[in-house]
Amino acid sequence: MSFAVLFPEKYVLLTTFRKSGVGVPTAVWAAQDGDALVVTTAASAGKVKRIRNNPEVTLQACTMSGRVKGDAEPVAGRAEIVDDPAGFEAGEAIIAKKYGWMFRLAFRAEARRGDGTIHRVILRLTAD
């Protein structure tokens, strides 16, 4: 399956791998950035730690709850953590453009919890 089939998907199942090799799937929003997908997540998320240890990932079309759509085959990819301010802003703008009001609502709610200083990163996902 081509990596590009994931570009229009609303939700993508991102599977990262523990040191033991066990996959940990997470449903995420993903938006196209050229020939890559970008995802935003908390810098402290487990998937970020796993990607630092092993950048290999798989991606599949899924529902909001993480159920794989139909017979969607996994696509192998690599993840890069982007945490510099310019890269983060560019990635976040791409995601915000795709998800519009849903994005604004989700992250406004996040800012209201605690002191609003959740450090986020962008994951740049490319075909393996």
The predicted-structure confidence for 14-30, as pLDDT tens digits, reads as follows 999 999 999 999 999 99
First-residue to last-residue Cα distance in the chain: 12
Q: pLDDT digit string (tens) for 26-72?
A: 999 999 999 999 999 999 999 999 999 999 999 999 999 999 999 89
Which domain does 72 fall in, by range?
Answer: 3-127
Q: Domain tally for the chain?
A: 1
Those residues with Cβ within 8 angstroms of residue 15's Cβ, 6 or more apart along the chain or in another chain: 23, 24, 25, 26, 57, 58, 59, 60, 74
Which pTM does this prediction carry? 0.89
The CATH number for 37's domain is 2.30.110.10
